[in-house]
Amino acid sequence: MLDRVPTGLLVDGTWRPAADDATFAVVDPATGETLLHIADASPEDGGKALDAAVAARHGWATTPPRQRAEVLRRAFDLLQERREEFALLMTLEMGKPLAEARGEVAYGGEFLRWFSEEAVRIGGSYGTNPEGTGRAIVTHKPVGPAYLITPWNFPLAMATRKIAPALAAGCTVVVKPAELTPLTTLLLADLLVEAGVPAGVVNVVPTTRAAAVSEPVISDPRLRKLSFTGSTPVGRTLLAQAATTVLRTSMELGGNAPFLVFEDADLDLAIEGALAAKFRNTGQACTAANRFLVHEDVADEFARRITERVAAMHVGRGTEDGVAIGPLIDDRAVDKAHRLVTDALDRGATLRTGGHPVDGPGTFYAPTVLTDVQPGSDLLRDEIFGPVLAIRTFRTEDEAVAAANDTEYGLVGYAFTEDPARGQRLMERLETGMLGLNTGVVSNASAPFGGVKQSGLGREGGGEGIAEYLETMYTLTPDPFRGRGTAATTAPATTEGAAR
């Protein structure tokens, strides 16, 4: 399967080496072994990729929407035919269990299908202005060449979530995948070429020299759109660079998701939701529940039951049967998880299970449950990005909402309650862009994904997702009846009027 993965850069429809012939290794985090060496793009390569996107811009923008839609639909169909290949590749380069990788293929594919359907629904409006002196026409057109920077944790879905709406809208793109997991994006790009994407419409430049490649691309006035998924600090830097040429930007940044369990919650449902919200992707997701806020009346029962489930989780390479927890992406991720756990324990938290790196090859951390986590602990403030579940208690709804909102982030929240009125209050009171109410998974291609505060701006998915790649143009034309009398005097006569 690895032999079928392109190892070059995709520029103007051609797979090619880096300009300076540089390469870098992609490593399996479960074993530490090298999977492949691939081309390491230079700033010169980034410039050539943008040149190609600019040259293809007009042709793709004027391609009929139905044709753009059919290309995306063919890509969806091809992905379904090759879903096992893509799932295995993601497990090898990122480490997630194979069952979860299959789930990502299904989820990521839906963006291709959804936006193939949205491509033919780009509309506009026509109407009389309030004064009656003219006609207001509103149209939408592609924003222009886009630079898409994707993260390592969902290498297929984050690529399709950006590429599909851009292509549906008529934009050409340069994609810079994360250096830790570029193989899936390269294989996806090859699939898009097979599906009929013209040369120059999709260009891919994996690199270990991210800043050196990205800065000149972002500062080039021909680029008109920047989309980034990653950390808030990097997002701030990119926003500052994008301000120079006033780029349209979409930023899906860090999270610190609260998970609220009220005294009236269905605990069976809450336990399943907690496992999905925390341990999906080994906790390496911006949507992962970070702070578990549990009502004091049910906290002991919740902690006991969740600890039993977590302690029984099988840790191992994602290709092994029954594995629930794969490796973290690298040594730095293991060190961060252990530092956060150690800080919490030093401040008085209680360790229920786990709490240590796993010996042996690969970068594994034992799935962990902590209770009695004290205010001020680092893991209540920092995004954990690992299999660590931290519980603290609350007494009142107001206290729970205040604790949930006590963060600079606002991507997603989760809440479990059987009270419909409370659920509606939480929809209005929680400062998040998304809410899972009695569910631990919220992502869907048909829904707008994104956050508030320092979790970013813009939305991906849904009708809002394609709007991020469209400019709105308003045209005013004179009243077409001017000089021909009023609409009333020029209207056709009625049958009764004609008889008279």
Give the phi and the psi of residue 369 in degrees, each rounded to 5.
Answer: -125, 130
Q: Annotated catalytic, 252?
A: yes
Q: Which residues are CB-neighbours of 58 under 8 A, at least 6 positions away?
A: none
| Rounded Cα gap, residues 477 and 413, in angstroms | 47
Q: Which of 118, 286, 460, 468 is catalytic?
A: 286
DSSP E strand boundaries for 360-479:
368-371, 388-394, 409-410, 412-416, 434-437, 452-453, 456-457, 470-478
| Rounded Cα gap, residues 58 and 462, in angstroms | 25
Q: Which of 93, 110, 118, 252 is catalytic?
A: 252
- Torsion-angle region of residue 314: left (phi > 0), alpha (psi -120 to 50) or beta? beta
DSSP 64: -
| Rounded Cα gap, residues 298 and 230, in angstroms | 35
Please choose, from the candidates 14, 7, 6, 9, the residue with its C-alpha nearest in 3D space to the C-alpha of residue 44. 9
Q: Is the dihedral of CA 223, 225, 229, 231 positive or negative?
A: positive
Find where tokens 């209680």 sit. Answer: 350
| Rounded Cα gap, residues 53 and 166, in angstroms | 12
Q: Which residues are designated catalytic?
A: 252, 286
